[in-house]
Amino acid sequence: MNTSTEIELKIPEGVVVTDRALTPKAKQIFTTENLEVLAALHRKFQSDRKALLAERNKRQAAFDNGALPEYEDTNTEAASGNWIVNPIPEDLRRRRVEITGPVNSAKMVINMLSRNSDGYRADMAMLDFEDSMKPSWENVLDGVLNVQGASQGNLSWTDPSNPAKHYELDPKDMAGVMVRVRGLHLDEVNVTIDGEPVSGGIFDLWMTACTMVENQMKRGKTPKYYVPKCEHYLEARWWNNVFSEIEEILDVSPGTIKTTFLIETLTGAFQIEEILFELRERAAGLNVGRWDKIFSDIKVLKTHRGRIMEDRATINMHKYWMDNYAKRLIKICHSRGAFAIGGMSAFTPGKTEEARAEQTAKVVADKGYEAAIGHDGCWVSHPYFIGYALNEFKHDNQLSRTLDDFDKYPDILPNSKGDCTMKGLRTNVRVGIGYMQGWNQDIGCVAWDGLMEDLATLEISRAQTWQWLHHNTTLSCGTKVTKELIHTVFEEELEKILAEVDESLSGKNDALANKLKKEFTQAAADAEAAFVKDELDDFLSMASDPA
């Protein structure tokens, strides 16, 4: 299934690639054959995908009317049967630290896969088509090409403005390659099949797998994918069927492609064992996706007045419902022979030694706790913290720790008792402005106030502000949250950001300062509009941008 730029591209019947999308880069990726397979996958799986998305809407309607998520029947084969996942390949049995970032940046991909300035390297690197990447067409295509290069071990990049800055992989010393595809809900609008946009997840999966699987196997490596935002075991079954179909097309053995699913939705947390059961042929593990989980907690229970969530900055893994969810995942995964990967420390290195020391202490404490309760590894968002995180995980894995004394069915319903504060509202607004400025420039993750904000953390701020507004929440200072208050806070935080731009650039680069101020002003308007809608959108975006 190798791509070729020498063979004339014939678009299969029923497939439409928009004129603006059929770029030289697209022609470098597409072949008649791989577009035919894409069309076949769409035709086989799209109707079931639509049905699963409709079921999401039905469940949410029930939650909005007062229902709560519940555990599944405990007497099923999934919950009480004597099964384990297929053996985990040797090259996936040490995942102490995984670094994540957008797949579209060749420089970032190389840095994630390579050693940092202190000589530390992550065990695995998750190359992301989802929350850390804005799904512009150019970004998606760059991501496909970068996966090709990374899976071959020969990806390189030269800074066009400074050719002396050249980056390349060392194929003999690089982290394991993993790819996270887009979630079930996301459409890729630049390719339609029989008049419908193709699933973004199927597009990412097939357009990378058609080269990556062979590339990885030639190098003695296991093809490995991450799948996000699974809400139900039937969704896991759908994904497993897609993987199985691709394996058959590529003529590789069933279960060759390994997966780690992120358990990062409230409904998914109630179905951890059922999800893993559906994936037992190919599961390498599950992951505690803490940030999307917090977003999901708020979104699922958004109309429940008794479950209004406190400031996002105070919701951590020590809240009982978060701790129970993580331990439940560890217990189930290890009992079934799968890895249990911990969550993301979303720090970026501070500009001062004091700031870096404070951030490092938080990362060490966070990763130390994850290792202590039994996780096999964790995520970091920046190479700077790899060594510190590695030091907390003393063993290749902790599969033997099955948490025998922990109840498999703990209380994991959020029940926040902390304060909703003006500081928290200002944080949400400031994150909204900062993130939307990047999003509008086709950037999916933004270093902002010492943290790496991606789509998941933006979604927390958006959903939380909406929830506080919807319930006319009274903040700890006595002020009620209204549209007028939110508008005022947006104006005030924007003014601060514009002043920071002036302080940083005025007199040094006035053109850039003026450009950024216009961008932040537009970002503030866009973020405010998203935060105060009458009905909370399920996601900031449900589709890619047209080319």
Residue 486 shares a structural domain with residue 378: no
Query: Does 78 have pLDDT greater than 60?
Result: yes
Residue 204 belongs to a domain? yes
> What pTM was computed for the model?
0.96
* Coil, strand or helix at 340: strand
Backbone angles phi and psi of 538, in degrees to 5: -60, -40
Is there a single domain that holds both residue 372 and residue 441?
Answer: no
Terminal C-alpha separation, the chain: 25
Q: How many CB atoms lie within 10 A of CB 82?
A: 5
Is residue 413 a part of any domain in this protein? no
Tokens of 37: 């397979």
Same domain, 501 and 386: no
Domain boundary pick from 392, 414, 436: 392
Is residue 256 a part of any domain in this protein? yes
Say how far residue 398 (Cα) sits from the centre of its chain.
24
What was the pLDDT predicted at 273? 98
Mean pLDDT of 183-210: 98
214 and 101 inside one domain: yes
Q: Are residues 256 and 351 in the same domain?
A: yes
- Write the secondary structure of 164-215 as one string of H (helix), E (strand) and C (coil): CCEEECCCCCCCEEEEECCCCCCEEEEEEECCEEEEHHHHHHHHHHHHHHHH
Which residues are CB-contacts of 289 (< 8 A; sequence separation ≥ 6)? Answer: 228, 262, 263, 264, 343, 344, 456
Two tokens, residue 137:
């067409």
Which residue among the candidates 95, 180, 290, 430 is catalytic per the annotation? 180
DSSP 291-315: HHHHHHHHHHTTT-GGG----GGG-
6 pLDDT more than 70 = no
Q: In this predicted model, what pLDDT tens digit does every residue of 485-501 receive, in sequence order?
A: 999 999 999 999 999 99
Same domain, 56 and 174: yes
The answer, yes or no, to whether residue 127 has pLDDT greater than 50, is: yes
Q: What are phi and psi of 205, to 5 degrees?
A: -65, -50
Whether pLDDT at 5 is above 80: no
d(CA 273, CA 96): 23
Burial class (CB in 10 A: 0-12, 13-18, 19+), 214: middle
Residue 275 lies in a domain: yes
Query: Helices (DSSP H) in 30-136: which residue ranges?
Result: 32-64, 77-80, 106-113
Residue 459 has pLDDT above 80, yes or no: yes
The pair phi, psi for residue 105, each rounded to 5°, is -95, 110
Alpha carbon of residue 542 to chain centroid: 14
pLDDT of residue 7: 60
Would strands 196-199 and 187-193 be described as parallel, antiparallel, or unpaired? antiparallel
Q: What separation in angstroms does the CA of 25 have from each of 3, 39, 130, 138, 320?
A: 11, 20, 20, 8, 48
> Residue 352: how many CB atoms within 10 A of its CB?
9
Same domain for 383 and 470? Answer: no
| 439 & 377 share domain | no
Range of the domain at 314: 43-392
Q: What is the number of structural domains in the chain? A: 2
- The answer to whether 374 and 401 have CB atoms below 8 angstroms apart is yes
Confidence of residue 2 (pLDDT cuts 50, 70, 90): very low
Average pLDDT over residues 90-117: 97
Kindly state whether residues 183 and 331 are assigned to the same domain. Answer: yes
As a whole number of angstroms, the distance between CA 295 and CA 267 comes to 12
Q: Which two tokens stand for residue 92?
A: 């996936």
Candidates 190, 184, 207; CA nearest to 45 is 184
Tokens of 513: 């300062």
Q: 3-state secondary structure string, 218-262? A: HCCCCCEEEECCCCCHHHHHHHHHHHHHHHHHHCCCCCCCEEEEE
Output helix, strand, coil percentages for the chain, rounded to the nearest 5: 50, 15, 40
454 is a catalytic site residue: yes
15-31 pLDDT, tens digit per residue, is 999 999 999 999 999 99
262 located within any domain: yes
Strand positions, DSSP E, 328-456:
339-345, 377-380, 446-448, 451-453
Is 6 part of any domain? no
Domain-terminating residue out of 392, 411, 432: 392
Q: Is 292 one of the catalytic residues?
A: no
Q: Are 388 and 367 in contact (CB under 8 A)?
A: yes
- Decide if 189 is inside a domain: yes
Q: Is residue 22 part of a domain?
A: no
SS3 115: coil
Shared-domain flag, residues 369 and 431: no
Whether residue 60 sits in one domain with residue 136: yes
Judge whether residue 469 has pLDDT over 50: yes
The domain that contains 374 carries what CATH number?
3.20.20.360
- Quick check: helix, strand or coil at residue 414? coil
- Report which of 28, 26, 21, 23 is spatially closest to residue 7, judged by C-alpha positions: 28
Q: What is the DSSP letter of 410?
A: -
Question: Strand runs (DSSP E) across 331-414, as ranges?
Answer: 339-345, 377-380
- Mean pLDDT rounded to a whole number for the chain: 96
Q: Based on the fold, state whether residues 386 and 463 are members of the same structural domain.
A: no
CATH of the domain at 527: 1.20.1220.12
Residue 3 confidence (pLDDT) above 70? no
